[in-house]
Copies of this chain bind each other. A is one copy, B any other.
Amino acid sequence: MAQQEVTNGGSEKKTGGGNDIMEVIEVKFTALKPQLAVEAPKANEAILFYKAAFGAEELGRTLHPKRKADQEHPLILSAQLSLAGSTILVSDLADPSETPAKTEGTGLVFYLETDDVASAINKAVGAGAVVVSEIAEGEGAGCGLSRVGKVKDPYGVVWAIGTPAAKAAVVEA
């Protein structure tokens, strides 16, 4: 009985699905990895860009098992890059009918935290990114940041590069 209470406790929420079994499902997620699919065969080029622009490190890659006759290099199914303590996955889009990664105008931004926003943006631009928002400071930065600028990479992904404001500005939940 006591064990049952422990199982139902913690961060578990009722899902409203009316299913008693579902309500006590404890699922453990071990990692969140954003995956960017780029126009084939540009994944290798994108990986070089993320290394040059953001200091990403490649942890490994899985290649597409079938290489077409006209391809010099096999396509990348998934490359794992370590970036700012997280992992991102970069893939070649094997199916040309699918849309490559594009976050511009989608309400989705990858926010990279750093103490040196200006240098980070200079470095990204040097590697081939384009500035989409000049550096804003103070209230103009918004979202609890003290300064932030945005760049778009050559593969359509927008990166917000910013420094968090003092913790005092954050309302604890």
A interface list, Cβ under 8 A from B: 11-17, 19, 22-23, 25, 27-38, 51-52, 54-55, 57-63, 65, 77-80, 83-86, 88-89, 91, 93, 98-103, 105-116, 119-120, 122-123, 125-128, 139, 142-144, 156-157, 160, 169-173
Contacts and interface: CB of A to CB of B under 8 A. Distances in A.
Given A84-B32, A108-B35, A108-B103, A120 B27 contact: yes
- The listed residue with most B CB atoms (<10 A of its CB), out of A37, A78, A106, is A106
B62 A32 contact: no
Contacts of A172: 60
A32 B110 contact: yes
Copies of this chain, count: 2
B34 A34 contact: yes
A43 B51 CA distance: 33
Given A169-B62, A171-B63, A114 B52 contact: no
Nearest to A121: B27
A62 B106 contact: no
Nearest to A19: B126
- The listed residue with most B CB atoms (<10 A of its CB), out of A27, A100, A112, A139, is A27
B60 A30 contact: no
Contacts of A89: 111, 143
Contacts of A34: 34, 108-111
